[in-house]
């Protein structure tokens, strides 16, 4: 039988790996589910206008679907390894870019951009006060926030909408439009 000390060590290691890498792998799963990126970007940019600088916070693998090389991409990720991977990819494909290592749970200042993406990250943080702080402090003209409508086990959510987020936007007097897809809901917010 395994000792209590052994079980505590395993639990601690799993917890730390989940904290550091869980967000990245969650974003990788959303990357596979989101097979409508071209249409999505067209719809978003029809509202926001095409940005000169696109800020993608906790981007995961989304930069692998970017196609427009006239836009400067500012992307953030949690770990050095993930940042190095993104930098290598963007450099090899000759994008204008900046990669920033950023822990959203402990940030001092957020990067700037014309349009900011927060795809499937606010619900992962599980901290509504932090979500509000991020929304308020992001220096962008438009912010696009998305939430999953499908569970990690690929099932439809029982309550897929996010009334707490809409209440927050209304309280902050931020105007928004919703874009609905089968696996994801997007809020395009005018700041």
Mean pLDDT score, 5-25: 62
Residue pair 174/163 in contact by the 8 Å Cβ criterion: no
* Confidence check: pLDDT of 7 > 80: no
* Confidence check: pLDDT of 14 > 60: yes
In terms of Cα–Cα distance, which of 118, 124, 122 is closest to 143? 118
pLDDT, position 1: 55
In terms of Cα–Cα distance, which of 190, 81, 99, 66 is closest to 138? 190
Both tokens assigned to 51: 């940005």
* Confidence check: pLDDT of 47 > 80: yes
pLDDT digits (tens, 9 = 90+) for 71-111: 999 999 998 988 999 999 999 999 999 999 999 988 888 88
pTM of the entire structure? Answer: 0.80
């Amino acid at each position: 039988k395994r000792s209590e000390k052994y079980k505590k060590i395993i639990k601690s290691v799993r917890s730390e790996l989940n904290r550091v890498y869980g967000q990245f792998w969650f974003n990788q799963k959303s990357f596979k589910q989101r097979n409508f990126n071209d249409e999505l970007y067209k719809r978003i940019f029809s509202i926001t206008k095409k940005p000169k600088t696109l800020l993608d916070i906790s981007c995961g693998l989304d930069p692998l679907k970017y196609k427009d090389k006239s836009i400067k991409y500012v992307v953030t990720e949690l770990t050095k390894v993930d940042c190095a991977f993104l930098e290598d990819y963007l450099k090899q494909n000759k994008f204008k870019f900046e990669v920033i290592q950023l822990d959203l749970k402990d940030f001092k200042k957020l990067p700037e951009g014309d349009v900011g993406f927060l795809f499937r990250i606010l619900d992962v943080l599980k901290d509504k006060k932090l979500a509000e702080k991020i929304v308020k402090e992001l220096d962008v003209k438009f912010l696009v926030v998305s939430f999953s409508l499908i569970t990690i086990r690929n099932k439809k959510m029982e309550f897929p909408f996010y009334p707490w987020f809409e209440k927050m936007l209304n309280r902050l007097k931020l105007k928004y439009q919703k874009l609905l897809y089968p696996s994801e809901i997007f809020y395009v917010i005018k700041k």
